[in-house]
Amino acid sequence: MNALLDRLRACVGPTQLLTDGDLSAWELDWRKRWRGRALAVVRPGSTAEVVAVVRACAEHGASLVPQGGNTGLVGGGVPDASGTQVLLSLQRLNRIRALDRANLTLTAEAGCILQAVQQAAADAGLLFPLSLAAEGSCTIGGNLATNAGGTQVLRYGNARELCLGLEVVTADGEVWDGLAGLRKDNTGYDLRDLFIGSEGTLGIITAATLELYPRPAAQLTAFAAAASLPDCVALLGLAQARLHAGLTGFEVMNRFALDLVARHFADLPRPLPQAEWTVLLELSDADGEASARERFEALLADALERGVIGDAVVAESLAQARALWHVRESIPLAQAEEGLNIKHDIALPVSAIPGFCAHTDAALARAFPGIRLVNFGHLGDGNLHYNVQAPEGAPAPDFLARHEHAVNTIVYDAVVAAGGSISAEHGVGLLKREELAGRKSPVALKLMRALKTALDPHDRLNPGRVLAGPTK
Ligand code: FAD
Ligand code: ZN
């Protein structure tokens, strides 16, 4: 192993190879659920250095775990406990390579922080719409490797829809330059889409060409209070009918989710009285603030008149709008403060969501009296974070150790019965690979294994993630 360490040191320089001291920033995941031990943390500064690292690892038979901002929630970006894996941090690949105003594209290296990409687009008077609560620390490479979703999906799509091209280092250390900023290209199999969402198991993303949009002239944000999930779904239908593509955000939060935010972040505003459900709506308008406000207020008045909502408030300023988003985005942090929890990132047809929740809430309450549901998410695109917190006062680690599997079975059986997906936007990683193996069709799993074997025949890229068991 010393020979490999010497080679890696030569690839990236002695200061960018870390083997000693506290490496928990790379070895421990954001939720503190998975702690691994790396042979070394390697921090290349260019695509050429990534190539050199991959070739060195291939020659020494070592496996690599790519990592960006280490904000993933499924244990996909931290090494295993063997002490033999090389943690490949892409954070130093952080240059914006190009911005093409006429083509509405930006080319960024994989380690660019999402917020920096948003800012580079804003500096050019344009919009990069991918937005999620981890945007201050997650990277473009990680966003694409997990096909991240976030809060603007109902208007602009997932990370996949915002990516026109990739540069990838393959398992044997070749560079595939697919960075062309084309919106049409039917020259065979879509390699870009293969790497997006592959969670570091098929190739290492080193750069991406991303799609930009014109900035809306005005953006308004509102909170609305609803008595039930069917009412939230009715509000969504009304908002889509009246606002069309202007509806850029539609988030729901159950009462307990907002209670947790109030408990752990007492200085955040609570602009509406408590309701069973609170909806955050965002309207983007090309014509300006006055037109936006008129359309938004007409929608909310209509919804009030129909009894779909009981109350609503529209932010009066950018600061107020940010505060409303901040409340929504604080839910995962408040949950982490409350203690370890069981996360379910699920997708369902919007029409199936009220029935799914009624059935599953009741089944969980019967099986685990006192269980607390933190249910929130992106209702506009049918994605719920249907999370389970141990009963008040029950030690969370103990509850998880004893009941996580049974809770998951109840939730995922209901998801599958309703035609949904067990991973909407966070990916599979370690957390869901057994569920995937048990629930994905045998044909789909066979095709996935065939792809893995073709692109990474020696199982060196993030082994054991997504697909359970050896793929060699
Ligand atoms: P990491 O955590 O470093 O890695 C994630 C995976 O990608 C790992 O499997 C890793 O091996 C692989 N990977 C990383 N970089 C590369 C690369 N360059 N090439 C190949 N593989 C790579 N996700 C959503 O989709 N929507 C949300 O709304 C959302 N909200 C979040 C809120 C919070 C508070 C947090 C902590 C996370 C949230 N996430 C959300 C999770 C989300 O998946 C990540 O934040 C983000 O997409 C991961 O980026 P990262 O750079 O941190 O990747
Ligand atoms: Zn989310």
The structural architecture, per CATH, of the domain 339-417 is 2-Layer Sandwich (3.30)
Ligand 1 binding residues, C-beta < 6 A: 30, 65-73, 76-77, 90, 110, 132-134, 138-139, 141-143, 145-146, 148-150, 199-200, 204-205, 332, 425-426, 429, 462, 465
The answer to whether the CB of 260 falls within 8 A of the CB of 335 is yes
Q: For residues 187 and 35, what is the distance between their CA atoms, to the nearest angstrom? A: 42
Tell how far the Cα of 398 is from the centroid of ligand 1, in angstroms: 27
Tell how far the Cα of 108 is from the centroid of ligand 1, in angstroms: 16
Length of the chain (residues):
472
Q: For residues 305 and 318, what is the distance between their CA atoms, to the nearest angstrom? A: 27
pTM attached to this predicted model: 0.96
Strands 40-42 and 86-89: parallel
Tell how far the Cα of 6 is from the centroid of ligand 2, in angstroms: 41
| Closest CA relative to residue 440, chosen from 38, 449, 369, 145 | 449
What pLDDT score was predicted for residue 246?
95
Q: How far is CA 430 from CA 33, 74, 76, 290, in A?
A: 11, 6, 6, 48
Q: For residues 201 and 458, what is the distance between their CA atoms, to the nearest angstrom? A: 11
For residue 253, the tally of other CB atoms under 10 A from its CB is: 25
| Consecutive 10-residue averages of pLDDT for the chain (472 residues) | 93 97 96 95 98 98 98 97 97 98 98 98 98 96 97 96 98 97 95 98 98 96 98 98 96 97 94 94 93 94 97 94 95 92 96 97 97 96 96 92 96 97 97 95 96 98 89 54
Cβ contacts of 344 within 8 Å, gap of 6 or more: 384, 385, 386, 387, 388, 408, 411, 412, 415, 422
In terms of phi and psi (left: phi > 0; alpha: psi -120 to 50; beta: otherwise), the region of 327 is: alpha
* Domain 1-215 = CATH 3.30.465.10: yes
What pLDDT score was predicted for residue 470?
59
Listed in sequence order, the DSSP H helices in 383-458 are 396-417, 433-439, 442-455
Tell how far the Cα of 329 is from the centroid of ligand 2, in angstroms: 9
Tell how far the Cα of 144 is from the centroid of ligand 1, in angstroms: 8
Q: For residues 132 and 286, what is the distance between their CA atoms, to the nearest angstrom? A: 23
Specify the domain boundaries for CATH 3.30.70.2740 within the chain: 339-417
What pLDDT score was predicted for residue 471?
56
Structure tokens at 388: 């389970």
The answer to whether the CB of 378 falls within 8 A of the CB of 353 is no
| Closest CA relative to residue 232, chosen from 276, 274, 273, 279 | 279
Task: Among the bound ligands, name the one nearest to the CA of residue 135.
Answer: 1
From the CA of 93, give the closest atom in ligand 1.
18
Specify the domain boundaries for CATH 3.30.465.10 within the chain: 1-215
Determine which residue's CA is closest to atom 1 belonging to ligand 1: 70
Tell how far the Cα of 71 is from the centroid of ligand 1, in angstroms: 5
Q: Which helix (H) or strand (E) holds 56?
A: helix 47-60
The answer to whether the CB of 133 falls within 8 A of the CB of 148 is no
Q: Ligand 1: which of 138, 196, 201 to mutate, judged by most atoms within 8 Å of the beta carbon? A: 138
Q: Ligand 1: which of 63, 71, 140, 335 to mutate, judged by most atoms within 8 Å of the beta carbon? A: 71
What pLDDT score was predicted for residue 468?
85
CATH T-level fold of 218-332:
Alpha-Beta Plaits (3.30.70)
Specify the domain boundaries for CATH 3.30.70.2190 within the chain: 218-332
Determine which residue's CA is closest to atom 44 belonging to ligand 1: 72
Q: For residues 49 and 54, what is the distance between their CA atoms, to the nearest angstrom? A: 9
Q: For residues 389 and 394, what is the distance between their CA atoms, to the nearest angstrom? A: 10
